[in-house]
Structure 1
Amino acid sequence: MNILIADDEKQMVKILSAYFQKEGFNTITAVDGEEALDLFHLHKIDLAILDWMMPKVSGVEVCKYIKENSNAKVLILTAKTQNEDEIKALNCGADEYIKKPFDPRILLIRAKKLINISDVININDIKINTDEQRVYKNGEALKLTKIEYDLLISFVRNKGIILSRDKLIDLVWGMDYEGDYRTVDTHIRRLRSKIGEDSIKTYRRLGYSMEADEN
């Protein structure tokens, strides 16, 4: 799933992006409303998190455009405290409204509710409790390393999408990773041995994808 995060506070964008990537979401970031609209046209967005007061184009205007041209959910962030401002944000089509400052964990919970993401995911004979970070196969707990768990979540959150090694590095190891890219293949091989060899499909020269039907 693609999450668009737009805020002129670069540190805020970095923090929120890290929280969503940890949950396996693909984040697309912008620092002003104009860039947010450009990215909206380039990607299929499932959820947009927009700061109200952005340069060039306000978050409210970006919200209006997104709601008029897609089915994406929109969450507005703002330092404004008046009730009239909350009403204005909701009237422009926003699905949720959060006042700054806020706990990123609260935002993550509300965002997941907007896009109907449960804390428990069932996919074939695998059950994932994301709140406890536990994985079960046919009811039996699996012992996954942190890397294996993060890989599994990334595949589940992007089910049906081919993820390249570069994308998996960004999602699991982080953009600053400088190690051998073949480590991706090694960890996927280990993950397959635990959840099932056919669970993750290899696309030669493209990457990997989980295409199982989610319950």
Structure 2
Amino acid sequence: MSEKILVVEDDKDIQELIVLSLSTQNIGCIHTADNIDEAKKFLLSHNFHVVLLDLNLKSENGYQLLKYINTAYTKVLIVTAKDSDLDVYKGFENGAIDYIKKPFDPIELAYRVKVHIKPSQVLKFSHLRIDRASADVYKDQKLVNLTAREYDLLLCFSSNNNQILSKEQLYANVWGYDTAADDNTLMVHIRTLRKKIEINPNKPELIKTVRGQGYIFRGSIYE
């Protein structure tokens, strides 16, 4: 699967330059957003490996977006004209791993992204371990037999750890269409998945229901 990259930049010329520099190097599947609201929608519906974030988004502060990014899985590279030490430190304190000052060398930007683009293939959450390379799932070190749909659902949840996912988002990511036409289908799959991965399916600790909003995966991350 091609690595997904989100470019959050409201200057169209710079946005196009970033996209060109990455696509020329055949780096990932690139999405672009002009503002925080648009970026948030992408983050809720896709699992990104890298986010390139501008801090000056018209009247918005790019730092506001960092709290919506799960930096355990998504690498944040700040691309901005802000260059004070305070700006750099604030970005790192909020989860960024690299800082690229404008104007930048397009080739250097592409190579910096390439360095950070390979995510860990193993996700560990307390009693659960997911090996994305082999698609194996282990509960207390015992292999769990999941269907393809259950695995895709678990991967969607775990890759968006601590983020509320609506039924529509789950259908779009796992089933491949936008509208949750049959709530019962989703409920049945979540119920069977809970039976296989939860210590106590009647009191789930990982996949929790958020009344009126959807579901959230609450996994404590282990290295």
Report if TM-score (shorter chain) is over 0.5: yes
Partner of 1:102: none
Contact 2:158 2:219 in 1 (8 A): no
CA RMSD of aligned residues (A): 4.4
| Contact 1:165/1:181, CA 8 A, preserved across alignment | no
Distance 1:166 1:135 in 2: 25
Contact 1:63 1:74 in 2 (8 A): no
Structure 2: where are the runs of 5+ without partners? Answer: 9-14, 32-41
The corresponding residue for 2:29 is 15
SS of the equivalent of 2:187 reads helix
Structure 2 partner of 1:103:
none
Secondary structure of 2:134's counterpart equals: coil
Q: CA deviation at 1:192?
A: 0.9
The sequence identity of aligned pairs, in percent, is 27
Does the C-alpha gap of structure 1 residues 68 and 125 become closer, same or farther in structure 2, counting only changes over 3 Å? Answer: closer
User: TM-score with structure 1 length normalisation?
Assistant: 0.58
Q: In structure 2, what is the Cα distance between the partners aligned to 1:34 and 1:122?
A: 35
Does the 8 Å contact 2:164/2:215 carry over to 1? yes
Q: Does the C-alpha gap of structure 1 residues 70 and 135 become closer, same or farther in structure 2, counting only changes over 3 Å? A: same
Q: Could you tell which deviates more after superposition, 158-167 or 200-209?
A: 158-167
The runs of 5 or more residues in structure 1 that have no matched partner are: 51-58, 99-106
Query: 1:80, 1:126 → 2: CA distance?
Result: 40
SS in 1 for 2:153: helix
Q: Distance in 2 between matches of 1:213 and 1:133?
A: 20
Given residue 112 of structure 2, which amino acid in structure 1 is its aligned partner? Y
Q: Is the 8 A contact 2:129 2:137 kept in 1?
A: yes
Could you say what secondary structure the match of 1:131 adopts?
Answer: coil
Structure 2: how far apart are the matches of 1:133 and 1:75? Answer: 33
Farther off after superposition, 140-149 or 165-174: 165-174
Residue 194 of structure 1, aligned match among 196, 201, 206: 196
Higher relative helix content: 1
Candidates 117, 133, 144, aligned match of 1:142: 144
Checking the alignment, whether the CA contact within 8 Å between 2:122 and 2:130 is kept in structure 1 is yes
Contact 1:148 1:191 in 2 (8 A): yes
Equivalent position of 1:110 in the other structure: 116
- 1:1-215 pair list within 5 angstroms: 4-6=6-8, 7-8=15-16, 9=19, 15-16=29-30, 25=47, 38=60, 40=62, 42-44=64-66, 45=69, 46=71, 47-48=75-76, 59=79, 61=81, 67=88, 69-71=90-92, 72-74=96-98, 80-81=106-107, 86=108, 97-98=112-113, 107=114, 110-112=116-118, 118-174=120-176, 176-178=177-179, 180-182=181-183, 183-196=185-198, 197=201, 198=204, 199-215=206-222
Determine if contact 1:4/1:48 at 8 Å carries over to the other structure: no
| 1:38-74 alpha-carbon deviations (Å, 9 max, x no partner) | 5835522443468xxxxxxxx5538989746423234
Instruction: Give 1:75 deviation, angstroms.
Output: 7.8
Give the superposition deviation at 1:135.
0.5
Q: How far apart are the structure 2 equivalents of 1:119 and 1:184?
A: 26
Q: Deviations over 1:5-61 (max 9, x none)?
A: 344359x699245xx98xx7268989x9976995835522443468xxxxxxxx553
Cα drift, residue 159 of structure 1: 2.3
Q: TM-score, normalised by structure 2?
A: 0.56
